[in-house]
Every structure is written in structure tokens, then in C-alpha cells.
């Protein structure tokens, strides 16, 4: 089972059968509803031996008593003990099976899981799960999971934990992150994190991969897959089970060993992956890499408010980045058009009444400086200058270097953030989170 596999049947299926109960609230029903509401344009077949019909999101489906035609993928949410025989029965008609059902190795039923894998292999069927939350192929409008749907974008999220995945999707919506795909792989009886890493490395809709793992079974294979994926695009990793108590909890939670964190950390570094410390950082890193491939370490800060500019400066140095030393020519150029109260050293303080022109000219001037790799633009709009005006300056400034933005806060910057988002420029809510985004860009 080594080597790269094509998993298009899961993430870009043209036909899908769903097995389970279609009473509202039941897992199979909720998945059907999500698939329909998500706008899936392929063939969709609900299957339950009792037959009948079901309405989901305004569409009525006949429930087939058995699968009678080939489909790319089956989503299975029937009781665990009948899953292997079902897979055996439909094996000739399917290429992939997503087994949502729980009750396998995670509760000690290793034998049942082994049987499931055997039946699938017999027919050449690839498995996701069991005990998983399903998959999303966002650009193919396929939301094959009961989790909240997300907006299209560049992030492929691979999660060992279903609950983490569900929470992360909902949080991604809050953080305005766009997704290409999501997979919760549960017990990883067949396909595991390494397969998904390799697949998304080559998926053209995926710009950045985020991986939540507690432990991996085959370290050598994982390192190889991680190295391959990282060579193609940024891979963000959140590893759980780093502490002594955390590792113990992982063992009781998944039955897998968290392993020595030091070994994982070394592997992540060796492979060139971006390890983050916290859940929130997954999204900051993803946002940064949705916009830019990388950035150097020398940052210029442009702000209209001293305090937040200093906070950004502190964090930038703390994170091992540099506050760029502006070239004398840049300083002279800034002096030529900025009011005398402004600070023309880095951080460049445009003071509170900075308008469209002042921001735009400053960004363009600083961007030309060869000592500058990237720019952090901070805006705390005073009452007399709408945030939208400054957003336009950021959007219209001609600059080919990465520009990361921190507009603050909440209702004060609603319009500005909206305009930025429309142009694919993602806002970071604090100076420190923006600084951290630049750090990750510098790690590629």
C-alpha cells in the first residue's frame, strides 16, 4: 500500500452513494443534506434496505434498497458490525469508501477493523476511516461530511481528530480562511496522513496544507511524505500530545502512541514543515500562505498609530525577524512628502491623520527599498478617516513584496477589512498575530 495514490474519487467524485438512516438528525441524513446544500452536481444515491424517500434541502430522493450502479465513492454510516459485509457487497461498484461508523479499533474491536480492510482490499477499494467525520472537496462542491461547510480557498485540512476538524472548519469560517479540502481520517485503517499529504501536494487547488496529528504509525513513510509535500507547498503542523500528560491522553484517546515529541519536532524541521504551537496559529499561518509563498526576514512596519507599531516591532524582533534598516535614499524620499511629525525610520509612523495618499506613497516608497523583504501595514482608523480609504491605499499601492495587514479593530474597521478581503488580502486582528504570520512566511 506504499506510494502515491490518486484520491480524486474522494475529493472530486462524480457520483456518490450514502448508506445509513435518512431520518432527520441521523448521520447519513445530515451528510446527504450537507452534500445537497453544498451544491454537489454529480449523481447522489441514498441507500437503505428499507427504501422509501427522503427530502433534503428541497430536493426529494428515492432511497434505493441496494446499490445497483457504479459510483466513485460510498459514504457509510451504518452500524459497525455490518460495515465489512456491506463493503464486500458493494465492493465491485465503488472505488472508495468513507466509513463514518465508529466501533472499531478505537474501542478495541481490532478484529472487525482488520476484516473491514481485508474486504476492501479484496475489491481494490480504498478506505477513509473508520470512525471519521468524512471529507470535503470544496472546489468540486462536494461536502461529504456532517461538519459545517466552508468557503473555497487554498487550505487543505487533514485532521486525525474528527472533533478537532469540525471545530477547525467552524473556526476557519470565523477567521475568513478559504479551504480546498478537508479530511478526517479517524482510525486510518487504510489511508492515512501520509497518503493525504502526498495527494494534496499535487492537488492544484491546494496552496497550503494543514495537518493535525496526535501520532503516526509509520514514521519513515510519514517523513518521506512530509518532505515531498513540503517541497511542493507549505505544510502547517499542529502536533498534539507534546506534554507528558498530553501523550498519556493520546494513548487513551486513540490507542496510538504520541511518541517522543523531540523526535517529531526534529522530523518536522528536517522535512521543512511549519510547526505551530496553537490552534489559532493554524489559521494565521494558513492565511499568510494563502496569500504569499514566502518572505525574507527583514520587515518594514508602516503604521498610523505609535503604540500598535511598537507592539509589532517588539514581536518581530522577539520572533527572530528583523526590523529592516531603511536605506538613506528611502528615508530622504519619505521626508520629501511626509509631514515633519511623522517618523521616517522603521517603524514608519504616519501619525493619526494619515490618509489614502500618505499610506499609498509610503508603501510604494518602502517597497522599493532593497533592505526590505516584507511590509506590515497597521491601521487604527481615527474617527475622521474611514478604514475603507486606507484599505484602498493598501490595495492600490504598487508593491511586489508581501504585505501583511493589521487593521484594528472590530466595528472600527469593518468596511476596510471587507474591501481587503474582496481582493484576497486577509486581515490579522492584532499586531502580534500579523508579526507571527510574517515569521511563518520567513520559514519557507
Within 161-190, the residues that bind a copy of itself by CB under 8 A are: 161-164, 166-168, 170-171, 173-174
CA 133 to chain centre: 16
Site for a copy of itself contains 193 (CB under 8 A): no
Residues 315-334 that bind a copy of itself (CB under 8 A): 315-318, 323
Contact 135, 34 (CB under 8 A): no
Q: Give the residue with the Cβ less far from a copy of itself, 323 or 395.
A: 323
- The residues facing 301 across adjacent strands are 376
Rounded to the nearest whole angstrom, what is the least distance from the CB of residue 261 to a copy of itself in the complex?
9
Q: Give the residue with the Cβ less far from a copy of itself, 145 or 180.
A: 145
Residues in contact with a copy of itself, total (CB under 8 A)?
76
Rounded to the nearest whole angstrom, what is the least distance from the CB of residue 228 to a copy of itself in the complex?
25
* Three cell numbers written together for 3: 506510494
Rounded to the nearest whole angstrom, what is the least distance from the CB of residue 257 to a copy of itself in the complex?
13
Residues 413-432 that bind a copy of itself (CB under 8 A): 413, 429-432
Q: Give the residue with the Cβ less far from a copy of itself, 15 or 430.
A: 430
Angle between helix 162-174 and helix 279-291 axes, rounded to 10 deg: 60
* Three cell numbers written together for 341: 511629525
Site for a copy of itself contains 196 (CB under 8 A): no
The helix (run of H) or strand (run of E) holding residue 94 is strand 94-99
Give the one residue of 3, 50, 204, 245 binding a copy of itself; rule: CB under 8 A.
245
* Three cell numbers written together for 67: 446499490
Residues 78-137 that bind a copy of itself (CB under 8 A): 107
Give the one residue of 311, 363, 419, 437 binding a copy of itself; rule: CB under 8 A.
311
Site for a copy of itself contains 412 (CB under 8 A): yes
In degrees and rounded to multiples of 5, residue 164 shows phi and psi of: -60, -45
Half-sphere exposure of residue 241: CA atoms within 13 angstroms, side-chain side? 24
Rounded to the nearest whole angstrom, what is the least distance from the CB of residue 133 to a copy of itself in the complex?
9
What is the residue-wise DSSP string for 345-401?
SSSEE--TT--HHHHHHHHHHHHT-TT-SEEEEEE---TTS-HHHHHHHHHHS---S
Residues 31-70 that bind a copy of itself (CB under 8 A): none
Q: Give the residue with the Cβ less far from a copy of itself, 384 or 400.
A: 384
The 3-state DSSP composition of the chain as helix, strand, coil percent (nearest 5) reads 45, 20, 35
Rounded to the nearest whole angstrom, what is the least distance from the CB of residue 222 to a copy of itself in the complex?
18
Total residue count of the chain as it appears in this document? 444
CA 174 – CA 176 distance, rounded (Å): 6
Site for a copy of itself contains 73 (CB under 8 A): no
Amino acid at each position: 500500500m506504499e506510494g502515491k495514490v490518486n484520491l480524486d474519487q474522494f475529493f472530486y467524485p462524480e457520483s456518490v452513494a450514502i448508506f445509513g438512516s435518512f431520518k432527520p438528525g441521523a448521520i447519513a441524513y445530515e451528510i446527504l443534506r450537507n452534500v445537497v446544500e453544498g451544491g454537489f452536481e454529480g449523481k447522489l444515491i441514498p441507500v437503505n434496505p428499507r427504501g422509501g424517500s427522503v427530502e433534503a434541502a428541497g430536493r426529494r430522493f428515492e432511497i434505493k434498497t441496494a446499490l445497483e450502479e457504479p459510483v466513485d465513492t460510498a459514504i457509510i454510516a451504518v452500524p459497525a458490525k455490518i460495515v465489512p459485509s456491506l463493503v464486500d457487497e458493494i465492493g465491485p461498484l465503488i472505488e472508495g469508501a468513507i466509513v463514518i461508523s465508529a466501533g472499531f479499533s478505537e474501542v478495541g474491536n481490532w478484529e472487525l477493523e482488520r476484516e473491514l480492510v481485508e474486504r476492501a482490499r479484496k475489491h481494490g477499494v480504498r478506505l477513509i476511516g473508520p470512525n471519521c467525520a468524512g471529507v470535503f472537496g470544496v472546489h468540486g462542491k462536494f461536502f461529504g461530511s456532517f461538519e459545517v461547510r466552508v468557503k473555497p480557498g487554498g487550505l487543505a485540512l487533514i485532521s486525525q481528530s474528527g472533533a478537532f476538524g469540525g471545530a477547525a472548519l467552524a473556526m476557519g469560517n470565523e477567521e475568513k480562511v478559504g479551504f480546498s479540502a478537508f479530511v478526517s481520517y479517524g482510525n486510518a485503517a487504510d489511508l492515512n496522513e501520509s497518503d493525504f499529504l502526498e495527494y494534496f501536494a499535487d492537488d492544484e487547488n491546494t496552496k497550503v496544507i494543514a495537518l493535525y496529528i496526535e501520532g503516526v504509525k509509520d514514521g519513515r513513510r510519514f517523513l518521506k511524505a512530509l518532505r515531498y509535500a513540503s517541497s511542493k507547498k507549505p505544510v502547517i503542523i499542529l502536533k498534539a500530545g507534546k506534554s507528558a500528560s498530553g501523550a498519556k491522553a493520546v494513548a487513551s484517546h486513540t490507542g496510538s502512541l504520541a511518541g517522543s515529541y523531540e523526535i517529531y519536532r526534529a522530523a518536522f524541521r528536517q522535512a521543512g514543515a511549519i510547526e505551530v504551537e496553537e490552534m489559532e496559529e493554524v489559521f494565521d499561518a494558513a492565511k499568510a500562505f494563502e496569500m504569499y509563498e514566502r518572505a525574507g526576514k527583514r520587515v518594514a512596519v508602516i503604521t498610523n498609530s505609535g503604540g500598535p507599531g511598537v507592539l509589532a516591532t517588539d514581536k518581530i524582533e522577539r520572533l527572530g525577524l528583523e526590523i529592516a534598516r531603511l536605506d538613506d535614499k528611502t528615508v530622504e524620499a519619505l521626508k520629501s512628502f511626509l509631514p515633519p511629525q511623522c517618523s521616517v525610520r522603521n517603524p514608519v509612523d504616519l501619525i493619526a491623520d494619515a490618509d489614502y495618499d500618505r499610506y499609498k506613497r509610503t508603501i510604494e516608497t518602502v517597497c522599493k527599498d532593497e533592505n526590505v523583504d516584507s511590509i506590515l501595514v497597521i491601521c487604527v482608523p481615527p474617527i475622521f478617516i474611514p478604514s475603507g480609504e486606507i484599505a484602498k491605499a493598501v490595495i492600490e499601492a504598487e508593491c511586489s513584496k508581501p504585505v501583511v495587514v493589521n487593521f484594528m479593530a472590530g466595528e472600527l474597521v469593518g468596511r476596510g477589512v471587507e474591501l481587503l478581503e474582496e481582493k484576497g488580502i486577509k486581515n490579522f486582528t492584532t499586531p502580534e498575530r500579523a508579526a507571527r504570520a510574517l515569521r511563518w512566511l520567513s520559514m519557507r
